[in-house]
Amino acid sequence: METDLSFKEVLEKIGEFNVLVIPGGRGPERARRYSEAVEIVKKMVKSGKPVLAICHGPQLLISANAVRGKKLTGYWGIKDDIVNAGAEYVDEDAVRDGNIVTIRHTSVIGKGSKLFIELLREKV
- Active-site residue set: 55-56
Nearest-angstrom CA–CA distance, 12 and 73 = 30
Q: How many residues does the chain have?
A: 124
b/e for 104-122, b at 16 or more Cβ within 10 A?
Answer: bbeebbeebeebbeebeee
Nearest Cα neighbor of 111 from 89, 92, 87 is: 92
